[in-house]
Amino acid sequence: MNEVNRNVLLEEITKAVFEELQKQQLITINDWKNKYVPISVSARHIHLEQEHVDILFGKGYQLTKYRDISQPGQYACNETVTIKGPRGMIENVRVLYPIRKQTQVEVAESDARRLGIHPPVRESGDLKGSAPITVIGPKGVVNLEEGCIIADRHIHMTPEDAKRFGVKNGQKVSVEISGPKGGIMHNVTIRVKDTYALDMHIDVDDANAFGLKGNEFGKIIP
Amino acid sequence: MNEVNRNVLLEEITKAVFEELQKQQLITINDWKNKYVPISVSARHIHLEQEHVDILFGKGYQLTKYRDISQPGQYACNETVTIKGPRGMIENVRVLYPIRKQTQVEVAESDARRLGIHPPVRESGDLKGSAPITVIGPKGVVNLEEGCIIADRHIHMTPEDAKRFGVKNGQKVSVEISGPKGGIMHNVTIRVKDTYALDMHIDVDDANAFGLKGNEFGKIIP
């Protein structure tokens, strides 16, 4: 068994055992409960406002569910769009439900380079002065003057989670990652809401740089 | 002036001022001299053994210089190859001079995913059991049973630099990066040699994840 397969196997075993322990409510080790968060990798995606659904997919079009994502009530849609910048375009960018007040495109820096755009690192929803981008759907095109960002690293959690971790909504924490390309991510935003499920979201560049597949845990450093 | 332009301008000014201070030998702030290292981003590339130069480019072919790189005596060649894995191929992979004892392909995790291979994170030259890969040149093809790695993060320096930083050859240090996607990279290998120039080398995934263009400085944390 080579080094890579061994690591993959170890990760899978660790995850399975952890999930089983969670099910059986056997995890009492404070270090886990009070410090570690599961990590998910967010690929590039788009949140749409109603007007833009109408333009891109046709008036009155209803988005359809592809699969659930980690946050309750949100899902990835079957619908995708193409995004375009001055240098290039990227196809098959997944639309995420629900509808938002303002269309928001989330990319990684590697995507931004392909597109030839310079999106700022921002919290979701903070779009003022963010990068312009063109969105192309099967029925129409939307030229956004602003709306494209590199999403900040963030952790969704409930008020109970926040209490346990000793953190507050909006607080910036650091998160430590183990492994051969391990390290610490700074400027990770805590997002607290009753309806959230505990999950840290990073982009594909972070995942690749830190050697993460999206089934690992990170350690919160307040 | 928007946020991005402001950051780019600030970086450029900081770099220019720092270089001028170095020229004038005016930098006496210990924090800079004893802790900070310049960072370069290594794109995917290949080091070739002589036999493979002969196969890929023709018997007796001499590699030609494209441009110097940060380490004295080493340079990027005009010659490029295509690398191929089970899932895909990547063209225009730069050959680096000088000739090595064993051919070595260095990619980032994002490249590895495109190719469909699983290279380990390794120090340069440590190729035993590393990933297989196919290399295609204008005159021939080489199927490597091993030779492809994700290069470890590392810092080249002279013995004088090592003394000043208080580190030793082979030591693993951490390096802190500032900025909105800042953080700390662990497992950064110190490489000491008389002929080295002080420079930290990271791959493209690290650069994208930490928001680095390759003209910044990192802070060594022993």
B34 Cβ contact list (under 8 Å, min separation 6): B164, B165, B166
Residues of B in contact with A205 (CB under 8 A): 110, 205, 208-209
CATH level 3 topology of A3-41+153-221:
Barwin-like endoglucanases (2.40.40)
Cβ–Cβ contact A205 with B under 8 A: yes
Question: Are A184 and B181 inside 8 Å of each other by CB?
Answer: no
Residues of B in contact with A2 (CB under 8 A): 129
Residues of A in contact with B121 (CB under 8 A): 180-181, 211
Q: To the nearest whole angstrom, how far is the Cα of A50 from the nearest Cα of chain B?
A: 29
**Cα nearest neighbour of B172 on chain A:** A180
A178 Cβ contact list (under 8 Å, min separation 6): none
Question: Are B118 and A185 inside 8 Å of each other by CB?
Answer: no
Segments in chain B forming alpha helices (H):
3-23, 30-35, 50-57, 109-115, 159-165, 204-210
Cβ–Cβ contact B204 with A under 8 A: yes
Residues of A in contact with B187 (CB under 8 A): 180-183
Question: Are B118 and A4 inside 8 Å of each other by CB?
Answer: yes
Predicted complex ipTM: 0.84
Q: What angle do CA A189, A20, A208 make, to 5 degrees?
A: 40
Per-residue pLDDT band at B203 (split at 50, 70, 90): very high
- Whether the per-residue pLDDT at A21 is higher than 70: the answer is no
pLDDT of residue A125: 97
- Whether the per-residue pLDDT at B31 is higher than 70: the answer is no
CA distance A159 to A195: 9
CA distance B81 to A27: 52
Per-residue pLDDT band at B146 (split at 50, 70, 90): very high
- Whether the per-residue pLDDT at B25 is higher than 90: the answer is no
- Whether the per-residue pLDDT at B18 is higher than 70: the answer is no
**Cα nearest neighbour of B3 on chain A:** A120
Q: So where are chain A's domains? A: 3-41+153-221, 43-150
Q: How are beta strands B183-192 and B154-157 bridged, if at all?
A: parallel
What tokens were used for A13? 């075993």
Contact of A117 with A94, CB cutoff 8 Å: no
What tokens were used for B199? 């420079």
Minimal Cβ distance to B2: which of A2, A129, A181: A129
Minimal Cβ distance to B3: which of A120, A153, A210: A120
Q: To the nearest whole angstrom, how far is the Cα of B136 from the nearest Cα of chain A?
A: 25
Contact of B187 with A181, CB cutoff 8 Å: yes
Question: Are A208 and B110 inside 8 Å of each other by CB?
Answer: yes
Per-residue pLDDT band at B4 (split at 50, 70, 90): low
Contact of B32 with A148, CB cutoff 8 Å: no
- Whether the per-residue pLDDT at A18 is higher than 70: the answer is no
**Quick count: other Cβ atoms within 10 Å of Cβ B59?**
9
- Whether the per-residue pLDDT at B29 is higher than 60: the answer is no
CA nearest neighbour of B68 among B189, B194, B160, B197: B197
Q: What angle do CA A33, A156, B205 make, to 5 degrees?
A: 95
- Whether the per-residue pLDDT at B12 is higher than 80: the answer is no
- The DSSP code sequence of A175-195 is EEE-STT-EEEEEEEEEE-TT
Q: To the nearest whole angstrom, how far is the Cα of A118 from the nearest Cα of chain B?
A: 7
Give the residue carrying structure tokens 């921002």: A122
CA distance B6 to B208: 19
Mean pLDDT across the stretch A65-77? 94
pLDDT of residue B119: 98
Contact of B174 with B182, CB cutoff 8 Å: no
Question: Are A2 and B129 inside 8 Å of each other by CB?
Answer: yes
Cβ–Cβ contact A206 with B under 8 A: yes
Mean of all residue pLDDT scores within chain B? 92
- Whether the per-residue pLDDT at B102 is higher than 80: the answer is yes
- Whether the per-residue pLDDT at B148 is higher than 70: the answer is yes
Distances (CA, A) of A69 to A23, A97, A100, A196: 20, 10, 16, 11
Question: Are A183 and B184 inside 8 Å of each other by CB?
Answer: yes
pLDDT of residue A165: 95
**Cα nearest neighbour of A113 on chain B:** B208
DSSP run (H or E) holding A93: strand A89-97
Per-residue pLDDT band at A70 (split at 50, 70, 90): confident
A168-219 pLDDT per residue, tens: 999 999 999 999 999 999 999 999 999 999 999 999 999 999 999 988 999 9
CA nearest neighbour of B205 among B139, B126, B152, B144: B152
- Whether the per-residue pLDDT at B117 is higher than 80: the answer is yes
Residues of A in contact with B154 (CB under 8 A): none
Mean pLDDT across the stretch B10-32? 64
Minimal Cβ distance to A187: which of B120, B181, B185: B181
Percent of chain B at pLDDT above 90?
A: 82
CA distance B113 to B124: 20
State pTM to two decimals.
0.86
